Amino acid sequence: MNDQLFWDRNAAKYAKKPIADQTAYQEKLRCIRSVLYRTDSVLEIGCGTGGTAREIAPNVSSVTATDISAEMIRIAQLRAREFAAEKIKFFRSDASQEVPGYPFDVIFAFSLLYLVDDIPEVLDAVFRQVKPGGLFLSKTVCLKDRSRLIQVFVRILVSLGIAPNVACISRSELIRYLTEAGFEIDQVRFFGKNRMSPFIIARRPFD
């Protein structure tokens, strides 16, 4: 099963799933808002059903949000009607594709990079699309930093079609990918008790 088909089939269930740690999520939103300006144009890749895009839309000038799943985008568009819909544009796109409207002031990729086929390719696309001095915010599962037992368990879920394909990377490898793409790391932190998914604020240097 390819990634698009997996997420199309699971979009409705994903949309109904509650946030596992609401306190950590709100802490993440506060951190995101602290680095945004009202004049910012934002791109979110891998937006899912658009929850984060809707949350931050009132704080910025515009949000462009994309996802590989057409069904995720359909649900996101329906939900956005009540939340600053005039500021958000949703459409289907692969994470490595360039998005109309770039360059952006800020780009988000939350719970995404470990799900793509080629992390360096996606980061190269992000780097091209963010303005010099602009920010790239990501939160990424680093499975390699957990026990071998958990890694094996995830691989079993993937083989059964219960979970999507997952790249087994470490935090140090993720940071290396970011710096090789040209980014400078401003901040690495965690929210809540989860120490498997670092939240990273990276910056494209001025040319």
Residues 165-176: what's their mean pLDDT? Answer: 92
- Report which listed range, 2-6, 52-56, 80-84, 165-169, is most confident: 52-56
Task: Provide the CATH number for the domain formed by 3-203 in this structure.
Answer: 3.40.50.150
Report the chain's mean pLDDT, rounded to a whole number: 91
**DSSP annotation string for 2-32:** -HHHHHHHHHHHHHHPPPS-HHHHHHHHHHH
Torsion sign (Cα): 73, 75, 77, 80: negative
pLDDT digits (tens, 9 = 90+) for 183-207: 999 999 999 887 889 999 999 999 7
pLDDT digits (tens, 9 = 90+) for 32-64: 999 999 999 999 999 999 999 999 999 999 999
Question: Token pair for residue 45?
Answer: 């890749």
Q: Residue 95 pLDDT > 60, yes or no?
A: yes
Task: Give the pLDDT band of residue 1 (cuts 50, 70, 90).
Answer: very low
pLDDT digits (tens, 9 = 90+) for 62-78: 999 999 999 999 999 98
Cα-Cα-Cα-Cα torsion 115, 125, 53, 21, nearest 10 degrees, comes to 30
Which residues lie below 8 Å from residue 45, measured CB to CB, with a gap of 6+? Answer: 66, 67, 93, 95, 99, 107, 108, 109, 112, 122, 126
Question: Nearest 5 degrees, angle CA 4-CA 10-CA 13?
Answer: 155
Question: Token pair for residue 160?
Answer: 């059964």
How many other CB atoms are found less than 10 A from the CB of residue 156? Answer: 11
Cα-Cα-Cα-Cα torsion 175, 178, 179, 185, nearest 10 degrees, comes to -70
What are residue 98's DSSP bridge partners? none
Domain ranges of the chain: 3-203
DSSP conformation class of 204:
P
Task: Give the pLDDT band of residue 2 (cuts 50, 70, 90).
Answer: low
